[in-house]
Amino acid sequence: MHHNFLFDLDQTLLDFHASEYKALGIVLRSNGLSFSDAIYWAFRAYNKALWLELEKGTISRTELFTKRFQDVFSRCGAAAAGLDPLTVNDDFIRTMSVNGVLMDGALEFVARVKRNIPGARIYIASNGATVNAKGRIASTGLDRYIDGLFISEDIGVTKPDAAFFDICLERIGEPKSSCIMIGDSLSSDMLGAKNASLDSVWFMPSGNIEEAVKAYGITYCASSFDELFEILKKWSSGRCEAAGRPQRFMPRMMER
């Protein structure tokens, strides 16, 4: 049996916002427009508002894609005249999908896990579009260390639904006790692990940590890749020592 590590992707191993920033810069410049931090922050804020509208059903996907670039164009002045927002949007999505950006130290971390934890398997468990996740993973070299991808678009269910994890477990083909979920999000990763009765590591915790640990039944917290490595190593060796009998660790925080 292996130690099956299920990693969230964005803001855990890859930096989604850094990719977005990079892709927006590339696409605007290639269309003869200027790019600045102010344009990026305006894009990010408006984009977020539009996604909320989409979730409420008040706008369509096409409207979202059109509006977000109409807004960018309005900030770029005369140079944007004649550009088609949907064409630029397609270009942006394509550019982003091949411009993954790693979280600082993520590649070294996954290499260390593979090298130092015998039987470690690394899976990605992410909500989002398959093409975008696959392209960004491949563009960073992370794919060399990954044993499998579970992307919600493929699976047909999203985290935190327990059904998402049921499908992951079925494909992994090993018992629940061999799996642990690692991620930054309380509402998808930690709640998902709780719903599926999996051990969990809350990566880069913030806010009222103790309250969240209780509410979401979080097993561990890690504030750096070094801490995360130590937790996974210990969790794995604990499982080996306990071979033949089920063992659960007492919920605890990593000592600082």
Provide the annotated active-site residues.
Answer: 8, 10
Nearest to 206 by CA among 222, 194, 230: 222
Asked whether position 8 contacts Mg ion by CB under 5 A, the answer is yes
Selected range binding Mg ion among 1-9, 26-34, 47-55, 213-221, rule: CB under 5 A: 1-9
Task: Looking at residues 180 to 209 of the shown chain, list those that interact with Mg ion (rule: CB under 5 A).
Answer: 184-185
Considering beta carbons, is residue 8 or 20 the nearer one to Mg ion? 8
Residues whose CB falls within 8 Å of the CB of residue 228, separated by 6 or more in sequence, listed in order: 109, 182, 201, 203, 222
Rounded distance, CA 46 to CA 113, Å? 38
Q: Which of 2, 11, 128, 224 binds Mg ion (CB under 5 A)?
A: 11
Min CB(10)–Mg ion separation in Å: 4
| Dist CA 149 CA 172 (whole Å) | 10
- CB distance 131 to 13 below 8 Å: no
Report in angstroms how near the CB of residue 192 gets to Mg ion at its nearest: 11
Least separation in angstroms between CB 72 and Mg ion: 25
Three-state SS string across 80-128, please?
A: HCCCCHHHHHHHHHHHHHCCCCECCCHHHHHHHHHHHCCCEEEEEEECC
Nearer to Mg ion, 2 or 44 (CB): 44
φ and ψ at residue 35, rounded to 5 degrees: -130, 140
Orientation of helix 61-76 relative to helix 16-30, angle to 10°: 60
Collapsing DSSP to helix, strand or coil, 180 comes out as strand
# residues near Mg ion by CB under 5 A: 5
Residue range at the interface with Mg ion (CB under 5 A); choices 24-32, 83-91, 95-103, 177-185: 177-185
* Nearest-approach distance from CB 180 to Mg ion, in angstroms: 16
Contact residue for Mg ion among 3, 6, 7, 10 (CB under 5 A):
10
Q: Residue 252 CB, nearest distance to Mg ion (Å)?
A: 23
Q: Are 80 and 73 in contact (CB under 8 A)?
A: yes
Of 6-14, 27-35, 78-86, 197-205, the window that binds Mg ion (rule: CB under 5 A) is 6-14
Which residues of the shown chain bind Mg ion in the complex (CB under 5 A)?
Answer: 8, 10-11, 184-185
